[in-house]
Amino acid sequence: MVDIVLLGVPGAGKGTQCELLAKWLSLPCIATGELFRAAVEEQTELGLRAESYIDKGELVPDEITVRMMAERLARAECAQGVIFDGFPRTVAQAEALNTILGDLGRQVDVVLHVAVSQSSVLMRLSGRWICRRCGRAYHQLYNSEEVLGICDVCGGQLHQRDDDRPETQRRRLEVFLELTAPLLEFYRTSGILVEIDGEQDVAAVHRDLRQAIAAILVEEPESWLPGSGHAA
Ligand code: AMP
């Protein structure tokens, strides 16, 4: 059992890396941003409450976000652990996550900070295209689709996220610095933070993430056995 948090500014590559790690570890990747976007698309009550915050680049209030996450973590597919992408994003959410996992007899095992510079992030976000159907991310400069505008994986249409607009991007970065950056200190103090150089290419970042995870799995072999079918 292993619970992993991926931290990083919007555009750091967490979504791509979360998918790769999820395959490697056979664990679900839970991305709060995607859960919110799906709820907005379906116009559920949650989606209607979240939409205006997302459009402005603000965080959805903790109480709504934490409730959504607690419900998700209660599902059977999350029983062996989870890779969190985009959650927690505030210290209050991190404290709530400790409580939710604690009640399940679990804890956050490792927090991986995918660190990239502000200038790289602005470049990455402005060239980012997302599949409407499966959520896969592409980039017009270094990870483009084979057929223009069509997802290689599921054939869905690609579009640019509304909140990738330049003024919303800037706000999202400010929000990160204001509300999410303090989490780095929170987890550093707990001794579970590992810094990863997110400026490297996708494969190199993935390799470093795997190494960091493998190191903690070795420290806690009784809770998770690499090679037991999960971490091949
Ligand atoms: P992301 O796809 O992770 O960049 O998230 C897109 C948007 O969803 C964010 O800008 C927020 O408005 C909202 N969101 C995602 N995760 C959270 C969270 N943990 N807390 C509050 N709002 C969130």
The answer to whether 130 touches 152, Cβ cutoff 8 Å, is no
The pLDDT confidence band at residue 167, using thresholds 50, 70 and 90, is: confident
Q: Whose C-alpha lies nearest to ligand 1, atom 15? A: 33
The pLDDT confidence band at residue 220, using thresholds 50, 70 and 90, is: low
- 75 in active site: no
Query: Is residue 45 over pLDDT 90?
Result: yes
Query: Given the CA of residue 14, which atom of ligand 1 is nearest to it?
Result: 3
Rounded CA separation 166/50 (Å) = 20
Query: Is residue 228 over pLDDT 50?
Result: no
Per-residue pLDDT, averaged over 111-126, amounts to: 88
Query: Is residue 163 over pLDDT 60?
Result: yes
Rounded CA separation 13/213 (Å) = 17
Q: State both tokens at 101.
A: 């996992």
- Residue 112 forms beta bridges with which residues? 6, 194
CA of 117 to the centre of ligand 1 (A): 20
Q: State both tokens at 201.
A: 């290419």
Taken as a whole, the chain contains a residue count of: 232
- 165 in active site: no
Q: State both tokens at 33.
A: 């941003």
Instruction: Quickly count: other Cβ atoms within 10 Å of residue 68's Cβ.
Output: 19
The pLDDT confidence band at residue 62, using thresholds 50, 70 and 90, is: very high
- 23 in active site: no
Give the predicted TM-score (pTM) of the model.
0.85
Give Dmax (Cα) for the chain.
48
Q: Which of 49-58, 140-149, 182-191 comes out lowest in average pLDDT?
A: 140-149
CA of 220 to the centre of ligand 1 (A): 31
